[in-house]
A and B are shown apart, each in its own frame.
Chain A
């Protein structure tokens, strides 16, 4: 059995497919229930009840939504660029799933344990802007184009700050492997020594996923629904899944970079009874709760304020922090060449 999976061609392909399914199936169920969680949390904050009709506590609501979405009519605008119009949602969805290949759920539990895992994530997140841009341009509509332009400008601006935050974490760890990054936090999770970076990274994640208060790309009061204004049916559904998939992905990245990934908060008995993947899930859920909380608590930013925050506040600050971290490590000799914290 072991020989078949590890040493034959067919076996290894089956093994890879199984690994991918083991990531994607829980992820898609998670995405479905994230919509339910979001509606419930928003409802609780607004003193409403939220979905409570379909199934107990409205638990079957995501499936009802999915069925509704699938049976809607697919509408293609008359002058849309058909190829790009359909490539865009597929690209967006598959990129948001592709990134999960490198996320480790436990020590060594990743589909691909890349040496440059964190750079791979950066590359994926920067390429996923194309989904937005193609959707905006391909649907040949002013609202969509404006939404796409805003989204692209915003994501590029905040990627710089994110890149620098990641650089400062990499300085401490001395490796770009996500597994190593988590293991380097055995003694102290990075959100303590790097607290400002943690906050900046969280805010940049909000901007990167186009979530409120930075949801200019879909600003419904100005742009109807922004870049996916012309989409219906499952094409819209794919954008929706991609957005929530990206939210979970960003939460996972925050957990891995700053909250110690699968590590328990203290290395003592009651905590170590809970296996690693559950710790990661708990941390992801906490981050997701913050995402939803922010959505209901803050009004939408103004566009020029968003750009100012990204370029004039975050970028210089994170750059200074990278220099500071490097200087501190040189001066004290802590963590140089991978012997972190």
Chain B
């Protein structure tokens, strides 16, 4: 009795939150409803006795994938008016794809029949007295090792693709060379200057500055002063005053 009640509670919340993912206007809310859906799906797994899958679903989908998703959604400008601008333009294309998908689904649904022996087939991989972590492990790593490796390769390619797309040289990057930072000592980079009273540091260049060698830290192709750059403050100050 208890599992049936739990099943309906989880299933109803799962379906409701899945619907909310689609219809909620705020994309952060949509993502959070998806997380709720995952949690309820893992509840369903638990009822089915698949505790390993349940925990994995939470740890990977809710705990890693969706957090990266939320990360992007939270920092994104989500202007609904702007999003709807292209609506009319894309509507026919989207509609065509939707029709194709619906027709395909209908074809599949018509030809669908459930194998009468499905219950036995589903029980097969689970040996008796074997925890389902071990059962899954031996199944994946013995029977389906090549498919498993293939899936891994597909993910690897996707990951490399994402990295290639985002890895480019930006002039504003300030890359750190950690080894050089560790080699640095205070007397290499800082200069102590004694300044006369009421005179300021104007004739020393106008400011207390790091030593020349400090500029060697900035990497080639990156933002910031280059080795040998002259930092002439008086010119800059004149410019600023003229602009005022």
Comparing A68-76, A113-121, A200-208, the segment that makes contact with chain B is A113-121
Interface residues on A, range: 20 to 34
Are the CB atoms of B67 and A149 closer together than 8 Å? no
**A254 within 8 Å of B (CB atoms):** no
Chain B 55-113 interface residues, beta-carbon cutoff 8 Å to A: 55-56, 58-59, 62-64, 67-68, 70-71, 74-75
Are the CB atoms of A126 and B74 closer together than 8 Å? no
Q: Smallest Cβ distance from B135 to chain A, in angstroms?
A: 12
Q: Smallest Cβ distance from A80 to chain B, in angstroms?
A: 13
Cβ proximity bits B115-154 to A, threshold 8 Å, 1 near / 0 not: 0000000000000000101000000000000000000000
Kindly state the separation between the CA atoms of A152 and B67 in the bound complex, as whole angstroms: 8
**A-B residue pairs in contact (CB < 8 Å), sample of 16:** A84-B32, A114-B51, A115-B51, A115-B131, A115-B133, A116-B51, A123-B63, A127-B58, A136-B74, A137-B70, A137-B74, A148-B74, A152-B70, A159-B63, A176-B133, A305-B178
Q: Which residues of chain B have C-beta atoms less than 8 A from A130's C-beta?
A: 35, 62, 67
Are the CB atoms of B75 and A129 closer together than 8 Å? no
Looking at B59, B62, B75, the one whose CB has the most chain A CB atoms below 10 A away is B59
Kindly state the separation between the CA atoms of A148 and B67 in the bound complex, as whole angstroms: 11
**A297 within 8 Å of B (CB atoms):** no
Q: Which residues of chain A have C-beta atoms less than 8 A from B63's C-beta?
A: 122-123, 126-127, 129, 159
- Contact flag A129-B178 (CB < 8 Å), given A115-B131, A115-B133: no
Are the CB atoms of B59 and A126 closer together than 8 Å? yes
**A304 within 8 Å of B (CB atoms):** yes
Interface residues on B, range: 20 to 34
Cβ proximity bits B30-72 to A, threshold 8 Å, 1 near / 0 not: 0010010000000000000001100110110011100110110
Are the CB atoms of B178 and A149 closer together than 8 Å? no
Are the CB atoms of B178 and A308 closer together than 8 Å? yes
Are the CB atoms of B74 and A156 closer together than 8 Å? no
- Contact flag A119-B55 (CB < 8 Å), given A126-B63, A130-B35, A308-B178: yes
Task: Return the contact of B133 from the options A116, A133, A134 (Cβ within 8 A).
Answer: A116
**A17 within 8 Å of B (CB atoms):** no
Task: Return the contact of A145 from the options B56, B67, B74, B176 (Cβ within 8 A).
Answer: B74
**A153 within 8 Å of B (CB atoms):** yes
Chain A 127-176 interface residues, beta-carbon cutoff 8 Å to B: 127, 129-130, 133-134, 136-137, 145, 148-149, 152-153, 156, 159, 176
Are the CB atoms of B55 and A149 closer together than 8 Å? no
Are the CB atoms of B52 and A116 closer together than 8 Å? yes
Q: Which residues of chain B have C-beta atoms less than 8 A from A133's C-beta?
A: 67, 70-71, 74
- Contact flag A123-B59 (CB < 8 Å), given A115-B131, A116-B133, A308-B178: yes
